[in-house]
Structure 1
């Protein structure tokens, strides 16, 4: 019996092996690279880029340092080769199917396996799969990838057109557009293997794709239908299982589309940050035959409904999102790719970016169209943390070709990325492009490039083919009607047009580009503000990592290189002079530039929230940076919080107190983004800077969750006479033992008559400090080694101790306030 049993096992082993699907990651093989005209191969890292590999081999200096960027532009014009070898065993070669899968080739890549060309890639955003079963051999196999210059190819394609398209060579390559340089980023036109390369072995059948649709969702039950695409090589009976629910199916040879109904009882809804828990259901979808698992897909699904509501009204047309039937004011920012060299961004980078958004009370991030479709980790973290995603397709600030080859390439790009991302509950909207429509209609391209009438018709027809036909039609083929929310271009109308504030989404750049005052934010409020912003410097510690101390001045080329806007500091200076002093020292200028940026953000966000429900979204430009730079970001390249990010956290709080002034007095308005009414007490105090109370008032309030609440109207005639430059209005709303605090000043910051404070600091816990002052301290900035302060750049009132939490024990804390700037 034992001998017969062993013989049976030996007979079954080949069958069992043939049933197992597996994969190998080729990243860890020994990779090398060289310029095609060179003879010496150098070690390379995969994932990586040519620039980072050159730097790691000490061929070039740090690309981010000083003015090195200008010296490294030669790299983009060269052809580069990568190679490796890997071994294949007899057992691996016995698999029925072997696929070589490239998840990120940047961008024009010829791939050779054992000296035979197997792929000609031309899109950084696509996933390339090649059947290499017949190309592999037992033992050593050689893989070589030749990357041609995207710049040279783009220029050659541009020459073939009878007219010049905007942005010249960059628009011809399906590549991250910001790599060609932006007004916040350097020009590093990379090439290389920026995402993993895998060998996939499979037998009999495998799951190609899974998508699901919510057919019914209520408090009692969620009825779902999973559509599973299966590639089958051996026809027959198979079992498909979803979390223990198993069904038998007969599969034919080839591609099979299987519908699998699935129910979840007493479902918990997925909510955004601030409204509830982002409930997720982990699911495993497995395919098996004869009780042997062949293929497995894992999903974390969130049960929710999302609607983009656009309804005509007396003013124009609404633009807002409903989540689970509830109108939600969207609070967030525009996210850009977090590094000029994408493989430098680790998994923790994406986690930290999302966490920083969560900590700042955001509920939406817009993935901007000039970068890349983000890594899976980014969307996973948005799912887990209740951050909705406005997902642009990767087109920005230009007009693009409309030839058949380009359109077919884009169609496959859309299929690859929508297929990858469609099951994330965080995906709220698919958007065709960033500012292409506005650019064509408002930026004077026709005149700049001297287009004929025929040229203009052709270029616009190509635009419509891409963004009004190909992309939406492809989405129609991939998504259910419930999940197919498409917006052709952001913004829908340019900021100079009246209609841009009465319908659609709006990019308002009258502030900054138009040099309009911050106060104009209060007048120029649209239905959904998807872009606006103002620049602020990062901390000097950030710049010191890439600029020599002797070059930290406004005249050095290295310093100028880390401000990409041509009139950036000129614009900052102009705005600074309006509201703040302009300090002489760089250190103090750095501080005031951050306070200035925060001041602008506060004005804008409060204006948007004051206009609720007319305005139902505020996404500022921009959340993060791709290198150390002075820009519109609120997080610098190293994820340090600028003053503006602390302000955003306060301005995006679920309950916000705001003051509107008129000639007769002022009104205290509250915006409540909680789903339920907030009942509590509002306390208002007029206090001079020494802490003396000049006037107080208290009122019971109910803060509505759908419209803003006017909590209190106060006439100046009701108040004692007070010096506006020496007085602050303190507001407190107390609800269920939670306190919301706000301060209102009556003059510009530079007009405040601040006195030199005496600040007492006491350590009251391992990560807690207590601060007291004898006079008002405006915008107190705390700094200590690498410690992170949960609050910073805050106001400190006399007689009111303030407890500040840090992420680690802090020593040698330095303090700077606005008084120091006003009294240089």
Structure 2
């Protein structure tokens, strides 16, 4: 096969819709240089024709783009198809409703961002210059028309995002902007072939009971019309040597008229791919060559694979129905986060950016990312990075928070995209679970949809028939579940009545816990012991530098239009204040409110995670909402839209550490829970003592011997002497084992008698940043250095460090640009130090 990339010479212009008068001469009457892959938003940004949609009120100012139609066009040089030669125009991704025209002839129409397209253009390509046009219609206008034809279905947001196969969060979400992109968002090329081409390749990897690795490379061939008059073709699969194994090669001959084949490789004693924290994650280079019998290579395919098995245990037990992922026979407690597209303008996401984000997940001790159903099937780069680092991936099918029609044209598009992406992702060892969608089963039952639907289809057959059938056919090596949340055994209704199990039942399958954020205090996380918590979270604003970049200084108030445009949650600020009030002092200044709400976010999520982890193996997973943001916004993310870690990020690192001490109630009695998610047993003497804020002992120190096996949890009853303070506002319980500590409070932080000036700080410059030495005269809780306030690109090595009286800690701030001597001198003043070093103690000043 000969491939000609068509990424140059493109231009863009508007062809209809509400283009502002001042832009009409530049957009309707002239062409704008365009990048492919790219979108209208990124092209207009590059041309200086629109402001940055992430700043100020610009998102609203660009709403006119929702209903504009666009034309991309280019001219390319090519040769006409020779006799017997096939010529295909291939688009890997079009966003979204497109008409493709080549040399004046329409070759195809598309309406799905989540799949690729191949058009036969052998009769249209001419010798010399060829003119290619892609007309993109407003996806919103198209969705409204589909809704008029087959009746709009219920959904969580105003736009009819469930009526077109486009990234759902393109239309806005409670953390994302309403910027409905349009463009050629993936590659485009011209492919020439004769005898055959690789239409689909699916490497299915299994491991036998004896440790033999098996690779079945399933191949679908595109064959020529006159295939019977040509010779055989040969498929050769090769696994390159590495990680202690030699080369492995197998060949299959495909005779004329045949279009499918399987090439099998066996690898005795195959080294296993393990999730991070459980072992190594070796990958092997797999190649497939399509050739002729006389040795001519027609086409090649290359991917990396890993040997491992994955199972999902949903066998009913005496509690209900577990939801436990096992890799290579080892049950894994999932320490994860939900993943959204890392930039709303998708074509700006690079492999380097993905590496930085996944490395942050690793730094926070995570072992899984859930690709959420309102985003995209990620690029190969994302899954490659997860493969390399041992990060498991839970992959949703792309349906979220809505009822989806099962009529045409939606059904066929849903099936085509599912087939393409299931097949595409089969090589990736990191992918451990397919999931039918996000909150749709729950929505049908509890969100008033049934009345609105009046018996119309809503997507149930996708989750229970189409998707499981496709996974069983194309990727039987991985488990599938119907949705999240989801209770195995759930049916929409039984004999016209209630379902067997509610889809969000804590005792069965997966659960989403959103009452905490929406209605109740975070201490109520402990009211439920879910089998698996696949969504829960709490909001907090982005880093200060991210916030001040995105809105002007004059708008730094909770009520400003600019701040509220970057706070998408319904009553978000009200919920932040309500969640704050029981736990931390209520601040008056916006600067203090910003820090205190960030701190409360960290406290809330850590509280939930420690509760879930303390119940392993009954609770088998914790997937916090969410790891990342796609723009600068107040949200549930641990890493903000400018890639800066929030205090929550460091709380996740602490809560997801392999070894954890946490005080939890058991039958109303405070109990120390020793969590050991490590490959080795944890043995030693736990030291337990009650002290006051000055460090003075309150009662006797106690020691308890523990021997906690690998991957297990052990409960240590605590004596009344330890758990009964004389003054709850001045005393804490300290538990220590090796280098792990838990400081348990008997009162809420706001009620503690803490010295706001408990810490002394010294700042000194070092190569690549600076060092902040903090020492505590009295108890100092959650001491944090807000590195971006020192230098915009500053990142601190840790946060939320609690110090007992007399202790000190050194924080290291790294900076690519360095820290000036003037800035170091400035930080020596008390006012500047207070702005960059915060703690629970400092909240008392708010």
Q: What TM-score, normalized to structure 2?
A: 0.88
In 2, Cα distance between equivalents of 1:490 and 1:96: 50
* 8 Å CA contact retained: 1:231, 1:255: no
Question: Residue 248 and residue 465 in structure 1: after superposition, are their counterparts in 2 closer, same or farther (change >3 A)?
Answer: closer
The secondary structure found in structure 2 opposite 1:595 is: helix
- Which residue does 2:212 correspond to in 1? 221
Question: Residue 499 and residue 630 in structure 1: after superposition, are their counterparts in 2 closer, same or farther (change >3 A)?
Answer: closer
1:801 positional shift:
3.0
Give unpaired runs (5+ residues) of structure 2.
Answer: 18-27, 225-229, 240-246, 491-498, 828-835
2:54 is aligned with 1:32: no
2:559 is aligned with 1:555: yes
2:238 to 238, 242, 257: 242
1:322 positional shift:
1.0
Question: Residue 517 and residue 99 in structure 1: after superposition, are their counterparts in 2 closer, same or farther (change >3 A)?
Answer: same
The secondary structure found in structure 2 opposite 1:105 is: coil
2:272 to 254, 269, 274: 269
Question: Residue 277 and residue 564 in structure 1: after superposition, are their counterparts in 2 closer, same or farther (change >3 A)?
Answer: same
* 8 Å CA contact retained: 1:219, 1:267: no
2:100 is aligned with 1:108: no
2:778 to 775, 779, 782: 775
Q: Which moved more, 1:687-696 or 1:608-617?
A: 687-696
In 2, Cα distance between equivalents of 1:133 and 1:204: 14
1:804 to 791, 811, 820: 811
- Which residue does 1:251 correspond to in 2? 254
1:330 positional shift:
0.6
* 8 Å CA contact retained: 1:31, 1:84: yes
- Which residue does 1:506 correspond to in 2? 511
The secondary structure found in structure 1 opposite 2:141 is: helix
* 8 Å CA contact retained: 1:598, 1:644: yes
1:719 positional shift:
7.5
- 1:410-489 equivalences under 5 Å are 410-447=414-451, 449=452, 455-456=454-455, 458-459=456-457, 462-480=458-476, 482-489=477-484
Question: Residue 721 and residue 503 in structure 1: after superposition, are their counterparts in 2 closer, same or farther (change >3 A)?
Answer: closer
The secondary structure found in structure 2 opposite 1:192 is: coil
Give unpaired runs (5+ residues) of structure 1.
Answer: 1-20
- Which residue does 1:18 correspond to in 2? none
Q: Which moved more, 1:403-412 or 1:217-226?
A: 217-226
- Which residue does 1:154 correspond to in 2? 143
For residues 431-489 of structure 1, give each alpha carbon's deviation from its aligned partner in whole angstroms, at most 9, with x where no partner exists: 11111111111012344x3x5xxx22x33xx5233222222222222122x32423345
In 1, Cα distance between equivalents of 2:343 and 2:668: 51
In 2, Cα distance between equivalents of 1:305 and 1:576: 44
Question: Residue 76 and residue 95 in structure 1: after superposition, are their counterparts in 2 closer, same or farther (change >3 A)?
Answer: farther
For residues 593-617 of structure 1, give each alpha carbon's deviation from its aligned partner in whole angstroms, at most 9, with x where no partner exists: 0110011101110111111111101
1:542 positional shift:
0.7
In 1, Cα distance between equivalents of 2:34 and 2:150: 37
1:210 to 201, 204, 212: 201
In 2, Cα distance between equivalents of 1:237 and 1:474: 28
1:689 positional shift:
2.4
The secondary structure found in structure 1 opposite 2:736 is: strand
- Which residue does 1:747 correspond to in 2? 747
- Which residue does 2:77 correspond to in 1? 87
Question: Residue 131 and residue 565 in structure 1: after superposition, are their counterparts in 2 closer, same or farther (change >3 A)?
Answer: same
C-alpha RMSD of matched pairs (Å): 2.5
Question: Residue 498 and residue 47 in structure 1: after superposition, are their counterparts in 2 closer, same or farther (change >3 A)?
Answer: closer
Question: Residue 419 and residue 653 in structure 1: after superposition, are their counterparts in 2 closer, same or farther (change >3 A)?
Answer: same
2:702 is aligned with 1:697: yes
* 8 Å CA contact retained: 2:207, 2:308: no
- Which residue does 1:757 correspond to in 2? 758
The secondary structure found in structure 2 opposite 1:724 is: coil
Question: Residue 776 and residue 286 in structure 1: after superposition, are their counterparts in 2 closer, same or farther (change >3 A)?
Answer: same
- Which residue does 1:578 correspond to in 2? 582
2:35 is aligned with 1:45: yes
- 1:60-459 equivalences under 5 Å are 60-89=50-79, 96-161=85-150, 165-166=154-155, 169-218=160-209, 220-233=211-224, 234-236=230-232, 238=234, 240-243=236-239, 244-253=247-256, 256-289=259-292, 290-447=294-451, 449=452, 455-456=454-455, 458-459=456-457
- Which residue does 1:822 correspond to in 2? 844
Q: Which moved more, 1:295-304 or 1:753-762?
A: 753-762
Q: What TM-score, normalized to structure 1?
A: 0.91
- Which residue does 2:655 correspond to in 1? 651
Question: Residue 204 and residue 508 in structure 1: after superposition, are their counterparts in 2 closer, same or farther (change >3 A)?
Answer: same
In 1, Cα distance between equivalents of 2:16 and 2:597: 46
Q: Which moved more, 1:793-802 or 1:657-666?
A: 657-666
- Which residue does 1:4 correspond to in 2? none
Question: Residue 762 and residue 700 in structure 1: after superposition, are their counterparts in 2 closer, same or farther (change >3 A)?
Answer: farther
In 1, Cα distance between equivalents of 2:802 and 2:353: 31
* 8 Å CA contact retained: 1:776, 1:797: yes
The secondary structure found in structure 2 opposite 1:106 is: coil
Q: Which moved more, 1:261-270 or 1:224-233?
A: 224-233
In 2, Cα distance between equivalents of 1:200 and 1:807: 48
Question: Residue 333 and residue 241 in structure 1: after superposition, are their counterparts in 2 closer, same or farther (change >3 A)?
Answer: closer
1:175 positional shift:
0.5
The secondary structure found in structure 2 opposite 1:213 is: strand
* 8 Å CA contact retained: 2:468, 2:480: no
In 2, Cα distance between equivalents of 1:596 and 1:145: 49
In 2, Cα distance between equivalents of 1:620 and 1:138: 56
* 8 Å CA contact retained: 1:230, 1:257: yes
The secondary structure found in structure 1 opposite 2:89 is: strand
1:722 positional shift:
4.2
Question: Residue 664 and residue 546 in structure 1: after superposition, are their counterparts in 2 closer, same or farther (change >3 A)?
Answer: closer
* 8 Å CA contact retained: 1:235, 1:250: no
In 1, Cα distance between equivalents of 2:165 and 2:503: 34
- Which residue does 1:13 correspond to in 2? none
Question: Residue 570 and residue 307 in structure 1: after superposition, are their counterparts in 2 closer, same or farther (change >3 A)?
Answer: same
In 2, Cα distance between equivalents of 1:666 and 1:709: 14
In 2, Cα distance between equivalents of 1:389 and 1:537: 27
